[in-house]
């Protein structure tokens, strides 16, 4: 746990789950892991929102985890965080027991959805999970998906739990995030999950980001954090501005459809397939994405030619 706490910073990638003919595409999954392990990614989050976790069976989730760990072990052995969610505390405790021996380093557990419990209910829910989890727990606060906002008073009490190590912050309320960053314990990591607010969150004191957009231009997203940490704030802002519009494009239709389209077009996955109720991108967005891919590919080639001279 101590080691993980020191690694909860920088750029973490919530990995997409590739499908082909409605089955888990293990070949594409291995290709993705090998690709991102060679890039400046600090960790992977599996079977979370971007990974279409709610459409995966328990057997598929297990195959996903073991396949990623096997492939990651061939190179840079990135830490793995498994996404879990639900509104039934007892059922989640059973899930944690079932996955206790899996080769993961942490859980990312979202607030219960739909039931909208009180702050006391949220605190007791996460406390019970953390008490029994064999791996450290990261909280995931995303009220616009779950319908409930984990407030800072309850959050700070949970931050004192020995097995709760950090937060993926998608509160989308800057004042709340700033207040938490001012008051949190030193060993409680806060990573933003709001792609469009990545640079803003770093300026406010966040430790990094868990960013779906970083499937694309991964090195640029990593450099934003590295430059900010080095104190080169003007360069960090310039790098951020080079991908700011890309983030908007990748979230112009429900994620991860635009990201999967991009990964498919660039050959990292065999299909842009998603599982219902998620659908592939519209024809209009596909055209815009293809145009952006072409422009960025040309720019990258031109830059390589200049550097080679």
Active-site option among 36, 107, 140, 198: 140
> How far is the C-alpha of 305 from the C-alpha of 309, rounded, in Å?
7
Sign of dihedral through CA atoms 290, 291, 295, 301? positive
> How far is the C-alpha of 35 from the C-alpha of 30, rounded, in Å?
8
> How far is the C-alpha of 146 from the C-alpha of 86, rounded, in Å?
10
| Main-chain phi, psi angles of 166, to 5 degrees | 180, -170
Q: Is 36 an active-site residue? A: no
Can you read off the two tokens belonging to residue 97? 């027991």
> How far is the C-alpha of 225 from the C-alpha of 211, rounded, in Å?
12
> How far is the C-alpha of 77 from the C-alpha of 68, rounded, in Å?
10
DSSP 217-273: SHHHHHHHHHHHHTT-HHHHHHHHHHHHHHHHHHTSSSTTHHHHHHHHHTTSSS---
| Cβ neighbours for 146, distance < 8 A, ≥ 6 positions apart | 110, 111, 112, 113, 114
Active-site option among 36, 107, 168, 260: 168
DSSP secondary structure letter of residue 114: S
Report the SS3 class of residue 31. helix
> How far is the C-alpha of 171 from the C-alpha of 141, rounded, in Å?
6
Are the beta carbons of 262 and 50 closer than 8 angstroms?
no
Which among 236, 276, 240 is positioned nearest to 257, based on CA atoms?
Answer: 276
Are the beta carbons of 18 and 28 closer than 8 angstroms?
yes
Q: Is 260 an active-site residue? A: no
Give catalytic residue positions: 140, 168
């Amino acid at each position: 746990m101590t080691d993980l706490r020191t690694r909860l910073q920088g750029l973490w990638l919530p990995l997409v789950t590739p499908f082909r003919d409605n089955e888990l595409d293990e070949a594409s999954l291995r290709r993705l892991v090998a690709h991102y392990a060679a890039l400046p990614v600090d960790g992977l989050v599996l079977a979370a929102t971007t990974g279409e976790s709610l459409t995966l069976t328990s057997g598929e989730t297990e195959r996903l985890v073991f396949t990623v760990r096997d492939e990651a072990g061939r190179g840079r052995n990135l830490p793995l965080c498994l996404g879990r969610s639900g509104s039934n505390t007892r059922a989640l405790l059973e899930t944690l027991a079932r996955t206790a021996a899996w080769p993961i380093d942490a859980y990312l557990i979202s607030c219960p959805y739909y039931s909208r419990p009180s702050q006391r209910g949220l605190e007791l829910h996460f406390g019970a999970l953390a008490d029994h989890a064999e791996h450290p727990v990261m909280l995931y606060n995303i009220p616009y998906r779950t319908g409930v906002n984990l407030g800072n008073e309850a959050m700070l009490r949970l931050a004192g739990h020995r097995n709760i190590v950090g937060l993926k912050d998608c509160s989308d309320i800057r004042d709340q995030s700033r207040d938490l960053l001012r008051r949190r314990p030193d060993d409680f990591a806060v990573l933003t999950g709001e792609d469009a607010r990545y640079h803003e969150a770093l300026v406010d004191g966040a430790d990094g980001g868990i960013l779906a957009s970083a499937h694309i231009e991964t090195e640029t997203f990593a450099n934003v954090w590295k430059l900010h940490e080095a104190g080169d704030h003007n360069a960090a802002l310039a790098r951020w501005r080079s991908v700011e519009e890309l983030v908007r494009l990748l979230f112009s239709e429900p994620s991860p459809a635009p990201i999967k389209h991009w990964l498919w077009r660039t050959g990292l996955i065999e299909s842009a397939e998603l599982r219902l109720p998620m659908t592939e991108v519209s024809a209009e967005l596909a055209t815009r994405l293809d145009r952006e891919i072409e422009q960025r590919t040309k720019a990258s080639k031109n830059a390589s030619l200049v550097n080679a001279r």
